[in-house]
């Protein structure tokens, strides 16, 4: 990641999420928050249009 890169972030509201936000800002990157209540189609739209280089998600969203 470089300064100015966009990072999509999918996580529930937790202390760890705030730590992630802080880390993204410390790197000079731009956070693209993803609401956990969105549909898969909404995620696809946002990810395709946000030009995010990284997708961070918490373990509860993995298979």
10-49 pLDDT, tens digit per residue, is 988 888 888 988 999 999 999 999 999 999 999 999 999 9
Identify whether 30 is part of a domain: yes
In order of 18, 46, 51, 56, the CA distances from 21 in angstroms are 5, 18, 18, 11
Identify whether 56 is part of a domain: yes
Identify whether 1 is part of a domain: no
Q: So what's the pLDDT on residue 16?
A: 84
pLDDT > 80? residue 7 = yes
45-62 pLDDT, tens digit per residue, is 999 999 999 998 887 776
Rounded-to-integer distance, Cα 53 and Cα 63, Å: 21
Please name the residue that has the structure tokens 């990157």. 29
Domain count within the chain? 1
Range of the domain at 38: 6-61
**pTM given for the model:** 0.82
């Amino acid at each position: 990641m470089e300064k100015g890169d966009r990072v999509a972030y999918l996580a529930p509201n937790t202390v760890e999420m705030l730590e992630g936000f802080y880390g993204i800002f410390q790197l000079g990157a731009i956070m693209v928050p993803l609401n956990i209540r969105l549909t898969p189609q909404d995620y696809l739209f946002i990810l395709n249009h946000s030009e995010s280089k990284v997708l961070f998600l918490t373990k509860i969203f993995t298979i």
